[in-house]
Structure 1
Amino acid sequence: MKKWLWSLAAVLMLSSILAGCSGGNDEKASGTSAKNVKQELTLNALSEPPAIDPAMATDTTSGWVLDHIFEGLYTKDKEGKPVLGAAKEAKASEDGKTYTFILRDDAKWSDGSAVTAQDFEYAWKRVLNPETGSQFAFYLYYIKGAEEYNKGKGPVENVGVTAKDDKTLVVELNAPLGYLNELLTMWTFYPVKKELVEGNKNWAAEAAGYISNGPFKMTEWKHDSQVVAEKNENYWNNKEVNLTKVTWKMVTDATTYYQMYKSGELDLIQTLPTDVVAQEESNKEFKNVPYFGTYMYMFNVEKAPFTNAKVRRAFAMALDREALTKNITKAGEAPAYAFVPPGVETSKGDFRKAGGEYFKKDAAEAKKLLKEGMAEEGWTTLPEVTLLYNTAENHKKIAEAVQEMYKKNLGVNIKLANQEWKTYLDTTAQKNYQMARMGWIGVLLDPAVILDYYLGESPNNRTGWKSEKYDSLIAQAKVEQDPDKHFQLMHDAEKVLMEAMPFVPVYHYTNTYLTSPKFADVVYPYNRYPNVKWAKKVSE
């Protein structure tokens, strides 16, 4: 494997040891014995997880829970590097296309039964089964025969995933993939227990009877209220797990969950209310962490007025991103004039800086483009536009600011509408919208995992836009072993995307957090929500 591939795939992480109440996490200083501290942590998931099923989850909320209750062949260490998880050994063939994984003898399910290679084979082929309807199946297309099976063009027998025995899993790839270990830490590659899944089609809808193999096990799911996970004593590495209980509340209103944190009802919150970020920045409990993703508004290119490329570009150029990030979001976000965020190092420097910006804010040019686009379509007035966003205070504030900017800079009055997250995902998947908010986070630090979003066959691409040239460039880039050529193909693909503009990039993410000083060893990934596998409560 080439060294550059390993380095670009290593997702940066930030790990923090937080001070105890009296200025340090020394047990004597805090006045509390570790044995007497109740090892329970309460988080805020912000919303109901749409799917706590490795095959069906497509969002960071569901992924947050899954990352704590499951474990793949690889997992992450405290520094965010991929390390062996349920597997104890991995061997690659000389050509880098075949991997043999040997599972740990002590890898067990939460019910105490052994995790087997057959569980992994079954889980991955379940993701690929067209009848499953997994929207993240394309992440397995690196595997021989996977894409053909998923698209109904080949049999499951041709998929290059085979359990040779209970502890040996052989994976055949189409081409060498330097970041395979990183990819296999993603929840889509987690195992599931065949007997459980096939014995109950609703196995993942409730906590009762739920079985997983991670550091925690789900013990309660009160829908639209909370998810509770407790320490999994059958987890092979349970000695590293300090918490006995983790609770995810589901509070969408930012002011409410901020007040709950201040009152001690929540121990960690993210996405702080925009009006409190400035006052909290000097607080030792505050963190601002880069997040490898982009906040955007998708266009439905099959519905007027966004069937016209000039109209789409006009809407992109009319936004004042600097004003949005400075006055509305206030969390140090970088205004976005492209899709791929900063954070990927290349021989020419950061990928984003090397690629540059594809447009700029220009109200006059935006009005001109809007007029030209309307003339091309024969519209004397612009069709009515509704901007849809998922229910959350911060999304509402941004949408209201965007509404005002379009009125001021384009002379266009748009309507706003909102829906709860699960309903919202269904609505946008059905393309029952004109313009809708979305965010996309890369599962590893490579432009490919960002640009994958707008592949023609990607179920995440809810815009209706397709480009054979774009798809071809990304396909070439994924198997290109020369780093400079790999990144150049990514730049070429992004250029095609930004010329078509099926979306409006708004800003590149950061995440703002407040974490109680009663807790230590919480890890803050650059592409996931906080990992509390190693977290411990150091004082009451």
Structure 2
Amino acid sequence: MQKWQKWTTAAVLVLAIGAGFAVTGHSSSSAPKKDSVLNYSLDGDVQTLDISKSVDQYSTTIIGNTESNLLRLNAKGDPVPDLAKSYSVSSDGLTYTVQLRSGLKWSDGSALTAKDFVYSWQRLADPKTGSEYAYLTSGVKNADDIMAGKKPVSSLGVSAKGNTLTFKLEKPMQQFKYLLSFAQLMPQKESFVQSEGSKYGTSAKEQIYSGPYKLVGWTGTNESFKIVKNPNYWDAKNVKTKQVNWQVIKNAETGVQLYKQGKLDRAKIYGTPEIYEANKNNKAATTTPLAVASYLEYNQASNPYLQNEKIRQALNLATNRKTLASQASGNTRYAATGLVPKNLVKAANGEDLSTYINPHYQYDTDQAKKLFKKGLQEVNKGKMTVTIETDADAVVSKNTVDFLKQSWESTFGSDITVNEKIVPIKQRMQDASNGNFDITLTNWTGDYQDGVSYYNMFKDPTTGTNNGKFKNQAFTDAVNKAENQDANNASARDNDFKQAELALKDQANLNPLYSWKRIILNRPSVKNVVVNPTGLQLDLTHAYRE
């Protein structure tokens, strides 16, 4: 993982394109097989190709490989120019100036211009779009007022003149260079979006592409499709693979068997304890950082029991995270030390940030019982019945809910009944967004390698990712401090994050459970695959078969 570097206060910072992406996991000087074809899978269904509305990792994987942004992460996790030729940052960190490459085209041959980026940023911030990622624009001039409906989208601090894009910020943002590589901020052609209307992004034909590949054969619901080389991509000559076949494979064992039969080039073995145990010693197995946090969200908007702080604290105290990570996941997860997962980024002192901010969640059933009884008395509605909701396609998630049910019911006895609701991921996400849940098990991959990628989600009850709708002023103040007065002080920011984590723990707004390990069987003959701990986890731009 790369340590965050403090933004330069010199006049400008200019980056030029690197010499391609380094090989991940293997090194080779061999030439690619002519017109190579690769075979990959997704664990779940693609939900949408609408760049502004995509939130799930499966849609992001396809969007990230068929679209491009100004920058793209290389094998070291560093943003390097893609559609941009170069960019510079003002000495105060408040102005980013980006020069686009000349002659950029969409997959349909039409010109791709700086205005397409302006439109995409405006569309994300526009409350009419209803994007859960709108908060990413916060910090850009007027973005907060636009999201609140107080100013028009045209006032957003993103402008275009010829081949030059200018971003005006209200405060320095350490994560801003990562946003310039982010899938939900990739360019969109306004005329195309408007002509497609409600059909935009609902199938492969209802989208145009700016990246190395084009999607073919996805109807919006089918589970087999492909991406093919986009000849209009600016760097098409260095895209060595003509086609990548994709399958949606929800059963992890099926994926492993297809890998062993040579029908897939990659299969995860961290999906179930049994699969991990059977394949962990395979020579092709590789472990790479994966910044995914799993945590429980409590509905603090409508559930009277979960509105009670003592009850939430009791549930957290009755959660044995070490045993949970061991038993429910078969050691394919790390026990959580807080909201921020292991392997996201290092703190300024060199520690993993998750270690530095550790607020020390405890497992204490005696204290849990005392708090739970007091909480029930305060609520005064009798015994508590609560439902935990999770994804039907995730074995570890189902194991987790089973573990929590047994643990909580054995701790609190007849005072609680825990029900399980196992649904498809699409329904779980809709229920979470609509507030139609008691407790939901959420898995969140960081958008970029910075703590703000997690803390920003919960600063306000109106944030689309704050499904529990809680307000914790001490938490919000700490995050705001990290983003404002301490924005250019790495040590101070880390301490702000520590205070934010402590505030979450004190009010038990969330229940962090575990963070993930990514253990994959990778085809040794496939080179130049880039994997990232956050954002676009699998980038096949320069991948090829040897």
TM-score normalised to structure 2 length = 0.90
Q: 1:506 aligns with which of 504, 513, 525?
A: 513
Query: Which shifted more, 262-271 or 314-323?
Result: 262-271
Give yes or no for the alignment of 1:395 onto 2:404.
no
Residue 182 of structure 2 corresponds to 186
Q: Distance in 2 between matches of 1:25 and 1:81?
A: 23
Contact 1:442-1:449 within 8 A present in 2 as well:
yes
Q: Deviations over 1:198-243 (max 9, x none)?
A: 1111121011152110111111214141342111111111222222
2-structure distance, mates of 1:4, 1:73: 20
Once the two structures are superposed, residues 26-55 of structure 1 have per-residue CA deviations (whole angstroms, 9 ceiling, x without a partner) of 68xxxxx923xx622222211112222221
Could you tell me which amino acid in structure 2 is paired with residue 378 of structure 1? N
Matched residue of 1:5: which SS? coil
Distance in structure 2 (CA, Å) of the matches to 1:406 and 1:260: 39
- Sequence identity percentage: 25
Q: Structure 2 unaligned runs (5+)?
A: 9-20
Distance 2:354 2:25 in 1: 31
Alignment match, 1:326: 326
Deviation at 1:6, TM superposition (A): 5.2
Find the residue that maps to 2:376 and give its secondary structure.
helix
Shift of 1:80: 2.0
- Pick from 234, 249, 252 the counterpart of residue 247 of structure 2: 249
Aligned equivalents of 2:522, 2:354: Cα separation in 1: 31
2:73–2:79 CA contact under 8 A, matched in 1: yes
Aligned equivalents of 1:157, 1:197: Cα separation in 2: 17
Give the counterpart of 2:216 among 186, 199, 219: 219
CA distance in 2, matches of 1:209, 1:413: 47
497, 500, 518: which one aligns with 1:490: 497
Q: Which residues in structure 2 correspond to 1:226-305 (within 5 Å)?
A: 226-270=224-268, 271-301=270-300, 302-305=302-305
Which residue identity is paired with 2:511?
Answer: V
Distance 1:55 1:181 in 2: 18
CA distance change for structure 1 residues 499 and 15 in 2, over 3 Å: closer, same or farther?
A: farther
1:199 aligned to which of 181, 192, 195: 195
One-letter code aligned to 2:320: D
**Match for 1:217: what amino acid?**
K
Partners of 1:14 and 1:524 within 8 A in 2: no
Q: Which residue of 2 aligns with 1:530?
A: 538
SS in 1 for 2:267: strand
**What is the CA–CA distance in structure 2 between the aligned matches of 1:347 and 1:263, rounded to whole Å?**
46
Name the counterpart of 2:87. 90
Deviations 1:61-82 (A, max 9, x none): 2111111111111112232211
Measured after TM superposition, the shift of residue 183 of structure 1 is 2.1
Whether contact under 8 Å (1:252, 1:391) holds in the other structure is: no
The residue number in structure 2 matching 1:469 is 474
Q: What aligned pairs does 1:150-161 form with structure 2 within 5 A after superposition?
A: 150-161=147-158
State the shift of 1:446 in Å. 1.7
How far 1:151 sits from its partner (Å)?
A: 1.3
Per the normalisation by structure 1, the TM-score is: 0.90
Q: 1:70 to 1:378 in 2, by over 3 A?
A: same
In structure 1, the residue matched to 2:342 is: 342
Matches of residues 20-169 of structure 1 in structure 2 within 5 Å? 34-35=33-34, 39-165=36-162, 167-169=163-165
Letter paired with 2:244:
V
- Secondary structure of 2:306's partner? coil
The structure-2 alpha-carbon separation of the partners of 1:390 and 1:483, relative to structure 1 and needing over 3 Å to count, comes to: same
Say whether the 8 Å CA contact 1:319–1:405 is kept in structure 2: yes
Q: Aligned in 2, Cα 1:367/1:205: closer, same or farther, shift over 3 Å?
A: same
Deviation at 1:3, TM superposition (A): 7.8
After the TM superposition, which of the residue ranges 109-118 and 260-269 deviates more from structure 2?
A: 260-269
Cα distance, 1:99–1:18 mapped onto 2, change above 3 Å: closer
Aligned to 1:516: 523
Determine whether 1:365 maps to 2:367: yes
Unaligned regions of 5+ residues in structure 1, if any? 8-12, 28-32
CA RMSD of aligned residues (A): 2.3
For residue 15 of structure 2, what is the aligned residue in structure 1? none
The alpha-carbon deviation at position 258 of structure 1 amounts to 2.8
Alpha carbons of structure 1 residues 225 and 506: separation in structure 2 relative to 1, 3 Å? same
* 1:25 CA drift (Å): 8.8
